[in-house]
Amino acid sequence: MNIKDQLQHKIDFKTKPLGALGRLEEIALQIGIIQDSLSPKLEKPVLLVFAADHGLADEGISPFPKEVTWQMVMNFCAGGAAINVFCKQNGIDIKVIDAGVDYDFPEGLPFLDAKIAKGTRNMLRQPAMSVDECRQAMEKGKGFVKAEAENGCNTIAFGEMGIGNTSASALLMHKFTGISIEECTGKGAGLNDENVVRKKKILKEVSEKYQVENPLDILATFGGFEIAMMVGAFLEAKKQKMVILVDGFIATAAALTATRFDKKVTENCIFCHTSKEKGHQLMAKYLGAKPLLDIGMRLGEGSGAAVAFPIVKSAVLFLNEMTSFEDAGVSNKE
């Protein structure tokens, strides 16, 4: 029997009716296949939070000013954000990365400096990144994941912070799926209906401004430094045979982009929750993903991945610790 069949046999002969643990059985099977093991383990879970600014934010596409990006990085470093709370709750190591924040941080802060530039360019005027900058960001993302793998981590999640990054994600989603920009665009950090209409108009104008075809050019033109680093991180995590916990709209847009470089990336992805951001459900459906939770979250930061992690742990625990009918001396159905 191959590993998939062996795992399915092990799952089916636990002391329960067939399929009675629902999605937990699917997750256990997926993780066992990723690790090529009948007794998979979740080792040293890490959440990398990539932060960067977006030039397009100058067009008022978010209700929050650009300064909130660096202020939230300071909050992450102080341990006061939602993602800090959930990572602490669930034993996940959190690392904050400056991918391109428009701010000069004081020395001594507990974050990793990978700043490519002080934010992307305003894509209403010119491409967000040069191809070289985009490539550089992807390589840095790969490097961070490789370092975690070398440290013994086999379970990883990616979060982000960047005022304007739902706009970049909506554009990437539109370009890679063909779904209309109107359906890809939502309220982001809380725009009112009137400003959502304006945001859609701006993004449509940006979308029509550039004729780019290949994935790298599309990412460079419409993405962000934090998104490009996440794309590289997804690719490296797949290469390292890691379990990847996927957060909401922006992380899923990065995962979608990563599939254009390696279509097998999603084999390692557990999609953790359905974001309230418009477009996320459509993107998940496009990827054939079935997110674990739907509890109205739309925060980003990796928060949905951290909150869902105990469910993923439960899947591995039942596979490893629950007895089989034979071991327990319990009669199975005929």
All residues at 6 or more sequence positions from 218 whose CB lies less than 8 Å from its CB, including other chains: 172, 175, 176, 212, 257, 260
- Among 218, 202, 289, 314, CA closest to 257: 218
Are the CB atoms for 229 and 141 separated by under 8 Å?
A: yes
Give me the amino acid identity at 40: P
Catalytic residue among 26, 194, 301, 334: 301
Measure the CA–CA gap between 74 and 244, rounded to whole angstroms: 26
Q: Which tokens hold the place of 252? A: 């899923």
All residues at 6 or more sequence positions from 27 whose CB lies less than 8 Å from its CB, including other chains: 270, 292, 311, 312, 315, 316
Measure the CA–CA gap between 135 and 229, rounded to whole angstroms: 9
| DSSP 8-class letter at 330 | P
Query: Phi/psi of residue 214, each to 5°?
Result: -80, 155
Q: Is 160 a catalytic residue?
A: no
Residue numbers annotated as active site: 301
